[in-house]
Chain A
Amino acid sequence: MEIQLSVQQLSKRYHTGEGVTGISLDVRKGELVTLLGPSGCGKTTVLRSIGGFLEPDSGEILIEGTSVLKSPPEKRPTSMVFQGYNLWPHMTVFDNLAFGLKIRKMKKEDIRKAVGEALQLVRLPGSENKHPGELSGGQQQRVALARSLLLKPAVLLLDEPFSALDAKLRHEMREELRDIQAQTGLTMVFVTHDQEEALSISDRIVVMNHGNIEQIASPQEIYDEPNTLFVAQFIGKMNFLKGVISEGQVTVGKLRFPNSNRLSGGVRLAIRPEDVIMNGHEEESLPGVIKQIMVLGHYAEVSIQVPEHGVIRAFQPRDAVKALHSGDPVRVSFKKVLTYPEV
């Protein structure tokens, strides 16, 4: 598939020491790629460099095969939706949306039509004459999105656009964004620190930490096969155990796993709570005691105190925990184990 945006060896250092180094990333036409990471990991730096609001120290940014590094933001084929304060309060919604089109010398009737359609697309039809102050936070972000959509950018950049909204609205907006993407086929780069958001909307996720890319993969792959210990810690819930290599196998207590990553010395094992099996065979399990059972809707989270290994959390079907009580002895084993070198 056609490459719409290509970031090559992008580096930017701030005088504080933070920044990004050697970021390379290709985004295909019509793809929604999320930059995910904790605050200060450099995801916004990458996005702002693409948008033209930051000048990188080195590297190259190509959009549809052409370098955009020399162009100011107003000349780039990108459009950005910011976290907040996107709109101009002294203008009506119509004027906010028409601002960019007027600069492009579009005809008046065409502007009116295009604005109407864009508002339809973000489900705010007929709000042309309102002022941003009369809109809720979610509606304001929709207008901002509409303004960017109107310009038909080659790449749409979204800088944590929903992070100021409440959880329910955030959820709705994600779905809507996905719908809009399906309808328009726009290429999008989305920045977020919310892993749930990234997992739910992305075609691919770029996990970043300390200015470097840790992994680029589909949400499923990121969840199932985290490349690094950081990704394993950052995405979803995870249990961690310390293991050692003995006789070519990764060993934790009586449990043995194949050393597929060819590790040596200390090993960190990562197990998803849904991969924890309770009441395994005596030979292939660790003994523990149930510490707490929390029923969370359709499933339950069981905390098990395992001597020498700390607390292990297991997700169990609700019915499976009915007969269990805290203090009960259990034996735990694991369906699937990920191994990383100990740092």
Chain B
Amino acid sequence: MRWYLKALGTRKIVEFIVLVLFVIFFLGPLLNLAILAFTGKWSYPDVLPHQWSMKWWTFVFKQEDIAKSIGLSFMIAAIVTGLSILICIPAAYAFARIRFPLSKFFLFSFLLTHAFPKMGLYVSIAVLFYKLGLMNTLLGVVLIHMINVLMFMTWIPTAAFRNVHKAQEESARDVGAGPFRVFLKITLPMALPGIIVASIFTFLNSLDEAQGTFLVGIPNYKTMPIVMYSIISDYPAYAGAVFSIILTAPTIILLLAAKRFVSADVMSSGFQLK
């Protein structure tokens, strides 16, 4: 045994241990969640449940406000994503292509919403929303969600547009395409991976948003994360586990679907302030 370890070398052994810890750290809770969600009976010292069951799934789906919250969450996330694409993509293109004074400053200012403790920001926004009559409205919830994603939705597409070289746009003009056709056929398709990544990020972020929604949307707009708070406090952990899986599933499905586009450099290039 010792000769084997020696042959492997300390480096390999340390790497292996780190990998194992990493896997336990990340996958352990998820595995536990999955087991909990399908548990019928499980008493403390046992490693696995005595009885498997789907009863918590039927329980969760029977709760009327839960089913409603799932629909609401997805609807809000879709609206938020759509609106931020409409607003942020043209802005990103402007940041990437047009030289205007203080452009760097404006781009950097998107970081501001992430610079303060969220709750403080939300409370001050809530005061404003109250005056404007936006409390407890769909628009209010959507706006709160958009504030969160403004930075990613502008930064990542800006980098994506910057990566489209001027010569590539110019050669399209050169062969006879007008500015609008160049944008539609050349620039936009080339920047699409970045835009998709940012949109997925926005969608997931909105799906997951709880604090702001809690402040602005209650009682009419209870999204999945809000309902989850009450489930965790009012029902056994099994129900919470089922609900977590429902909340996690879209993330995993979307990320798998967009695997082709999501890469570390698409994300990171958004954070290089050039």
Residue numbers of A with Cβ under 8 A of B are: 51-53, 72-74, 78-80, 82-90, 99-100, 103-104, 144, 147-148, 151
Contact = CB atoms under 8 A, between A and B. Distances in A.
Contacts of A90: 189-190, 192
Contacts of A78: 174
Interface string B169-185: 01111111110010001
Interface residues of B, number: 19
A319 B181 CA distance: 65
Interface centre among B171, B172, B176, B178 (most CB of A within 10 A): B171
A85 B174 CA distance: 14
B167 A83 contact: yes
Contact of A85 (B167, B178, B189, B192): B167
B168 A79 contact: no
Contact of A88 (B174, B176, B181, B186): B186
A103 B177 contact: yes
B168 A86 contact: yes
Interface of B: 165-168, 170-178, 181, 185-186, 189-190, 192
A93 to B, nearest CB: 14
A79 B174 contact: yes
Contact of A103 (B171, B176, B190): B176
A86 to B, nearest CB: 5
Smallest CB-CB A-B distances: 8 pairs: A100-B175, A85-B165, A82-B167, A85-B167, A73-B173, A103-B176, A74-B176, A90-B189
B82 to A, nearest CB: 24
A71 B178 CA distance: 12
Nearest to A90: B189
B79 to A, nearest CB: 29
Nearest to B186: A88
B167 A89 contact: no
A84 B167 contact: yes
Contact of B170 (A80, A87, A147): A80
Contact of B168 (A73, A74, A88, A100): A88
B163 to A, nearest CB: 10
Given A53-B170, A151-B175, 5 more contacts: A73-B174, A74-B174, A90-B189, A103-B175, A103-B176
A99 B177 contact: yes
A74 B170 CA distance: 9
